[in-house]
Structure 1
Amino acid sequence: MRAGILYNHIRKDERLIIAEAERRGMEIVLLRDEEISFPLESNPYEVDLVLERGIHHGRALETLKILENFGVRTLNSAACAEICGNKFLVTEALEAAQVPTPRSGIAFTRETALQMIEELGYPVVLKPAIGSWGTLLAKVNDRDAAEAVLDHKQKLGSYHHNVFYIQEFIDKPGRDIRVIVIGGEAVGAVLRKSAHWITHLDQGATLERCEMTTDLGSMAVSAAEAVGGEIVAVDIVESERGYLVLEVEYTVEFSQFSPFIDEQKVAVRIVDQMQKASDIG
């Protein structure tokens, strides 16, 4: 099989995947998103399948769409990338599949955003509809803070600041859970702990081992199915209502969670899924 890997930078994750794929006799074609281009009438890249490993959502999404139009099998699909790249679409997909998730909504003006915040009840979290790594999040504790944050966003003026994605604040126990799902199976989980309400490694969280219970794995798999994801990471929080799914990411970073998640096992399972996808077509 001739497999393409769409990427920004070759990190440890990609090196592990490439090594396992080449061990199985796959021919790997590296497609760096900063260097590729497409004449739209023909595909210049002769590959049977492309594994998406980039960190630039816009480049990844459009490339996946183009490749699929040329008949190339992609992991994940463009449809999955489009959903996972937009928090509102993830929420819609989870709600449609009846996967528990925090109460959320979207508004387009300062006035309607304030109304929705009041309906959800303080505190709430304002997030960019498109964004990652725990950036541009704001916990809003009262009306004064809501008015200030919304005013600032309107003045900033970009698309990201004029679509208001609003989510109830979940008083989690100082941690959340990242679960990796590949091919319909939860293959690893890790706790991310922080005294701050944002429990993300880029925001200073620390890691601990997480037991993969039946309920936890089942919820993660249901979330992956809801967004059509074959290789995804699911973020889950514990609440008074039980487990709730916060987000689903379609570009799975995994070596940073070692040794709490077996990085070699994840690489092997990703290559397994590549072979399965190629066989199915």
Structure 2
Amino acid sequence: MSGPADLALLASRVRTDERRIMAALERRGVNFSHVDTRTLHSCFGQRRWPVVLNREIGVVRARYAAWALEAEGSRVLNTASAIEVCGDKWRTSMSLQAAGLPTPRTAIAMTPEATLAALDELGYPAVLKPLVGSWGRLVTKLETREQADTVLEYQAALTGPQAHLGYLQALIDSGGRDIRVIVIGGVAIGASYRSSDDWRSNVARGARTGRCPLTPELAKLAAGAAEAVGAELAGVDVIEDGQGRQLVLEVNSGVEFSGFQQAHGDDIDVADLIAEYAMAAVSAC
């Protein structure tokens, strides 16, 4: 389209989800530009785009791009603040705890030695996670103190102070299944199961997806989690324990929805709902 764009879609890697969003924007006649975040630079000055849809996959680049564009006066979906909280698992846990939402028992330790002590208090089995990361990478199930001692000895040899912090959660026996709920503008639009033969049920690791009933309780829990971290567009991961209680695991600000879309087919068009929300944001500017 000619003329200055009303909306920018930031993405250094255009995946299936981004292609779906761009196609939805085109169908709706939105004047938008795709901006490869690797080429983006910002100097304080005139606002270039009223609204920015931030689909940058790299959390650091996504956060700093949001900060820069917010300083220019753009409305960024999601905000830098939301990206910062969602990009740090401990900060997410603190936000969920402050909002009174149910989560697995969680601890953080400042050193590998302190992590061992925290594990003694938290109990085994437990899960050790990196503070920053996705797709289940570097997530380790610790079933005994001997196993933990070996893993933490390796952790102590890593470079960088953040690598030495221990973020821990009690292992929830969920039968290899969790729930992904997508929230747009404070409204849960649907839910899907993610099931795996592995104890990690990430779609990126080959988990199977299926439809999950979106009960009023689940919708309220997911919307509350998105609100707690300040995310307008969110993928909320929920796990059920042996008693059927639903606990929030984490909230994703750069929500991936291919698995969800496979489960729901044409009944829920996530990309179109995101495009609709972005259009409303443009109209409000």
| Worse overlay, 84-93 or 149-158 | 149-158
**2:250 alignment counterpart:** 247
Residue in structure 2 matched with residue 261 of structure 1 by the alignment: 264
Q: What is the rounded CA distance, in whole Å, between the counterparts of 2:61 and 2:264 in structure 1?
A: 28
Alpha-carbon RMSD across the aligned residues, in angstroms, is: 1.6
Other-structure match for 2:11 = 7
Question: 26, 38, 52: which is aligned to 2:30?
Answer: 26
Judge conservation of contact 2:112–2:155 (CA < 8 Å) in 1. Answer: no
Deviation at 1:262, TM superposition (A): 4.3
Q: Is the 8 A contact 1:189 1:260 kept in 2?
A: no
How far off its partner does 1:265 sit? 1.8
Comparing 155-164 with 45-54, greater Cα deviation is found at 155-164
**When the two structures are aligned, how many residues end up with a matched partner?**
279
Residue among 274, 278, 281 paired with 2:282: 278
Conservation of the 8 A alpha-carbon contact between 1:79 and 1:228:
yes
The two structures have a TM-score, normalised by structure 2, of 0.93
TM score, norm. by length of structure 1:
0.94
C-alpha contact 2:203 2:259 (8 A) present in aligned 1: no
The separation in 2 between residues aligned to 1:66 and 1:261, in whole angstroms, is: 36
For residues 199-257 of structure 1, the C-alpha deviation after alignment (integer angstroms, 9 at most, x for no partner) is: 11222311122111111111111111111111100000001361000010011111333
Are the counterparts in 1 of residues 52 and 74 from structure 2 also a CA contact under 8 Å?
yes
Separation (CA, whole Å) in 2 of partners of 1:126 and 1:16? 34
C-alpha deviations, 1:69-114, integer Å up to 9, x for none?
Answer: 1111000011100000000010000000011011111111122111
- Letter of the 1:112 counterpart: A
| Paired amino acid for 2:40 | I
Q: Which moved more, 1:224-233 or 1:11-20?
A: 11-20
In 2: Cα distance, 1:261 partner to 1:194 partner:
18
Deviation at 1:58, TM superposition (A): 0.5
Q: Give the counterpart of 1:36 among 12, 36, 40.
A: 40
Counterpart of 1:53 in structure 2 is 55
Does the residue aligned with 2:246 lie in a helix, a strand or coil? strand
Q: What's the CA shift for 1:116?
A: 0.8
**What residue in structure 2 maps to residue 190 of structure 1?**
192
Report the more deviating stretch, 84-93 or 212-221: 212-221
Instruction: Please state whether the residue corresponding to 2:262 is helix, strand or coil.
Output: coil
* Pairing partner for 1:153 from 149, 152, 155: 155
